[in-house]
Amino acid sequence: MIMGMIGPAQFVNGIWMGTVLIALGLVPELFQSLTVLLQKVIKASLPAPIPSRWRAQIEPFSPERQPLLTSLGAAIIVATFFFYFAK
């Protein structure tokens, strides 16, 4: 394989990663629900409850569009196409 080229498996992975990041950036409710789900999983897996002083430091998450995630997803897709078709 020539340096700089990626295979079909990496191409598909790059497209999927970029698409997921774009979706997370454009749909804030999806990002919010994944954050809440992750917090529930962490709470359920901890052996002891989180001390109240730590809980007070956790700020509530306000859903808003994430332009950085959207830009990163688009950049990954562009780079994937570039490296897949590079010869």
Q: State whether residue 1 is helix, strand or coil.
A: coil
One-letter amino acid of 15: I
- Rounded distance between C-alpha atoms, residue 11 and residue 65, angstroms: 27
Rounded to the nearest 10 degrees, what angle do helices 8-26 and 67-85 cross at? Answer: 160
Would you list the domain boundaries of the chain? 1-31+65-80
| pLDDT, tens digit, 9 for 90 and up, residues 10-48 | 999 999 999 998 988 888 787 778 878 887 887 777 776
Say which DSSP state 12 is in: H
Q: What is the mean pLDDT of residues 72-86?
A: 93
- pLDDT for position 61: 58
∠ CA 57-66-42, nearest 5°, is 40
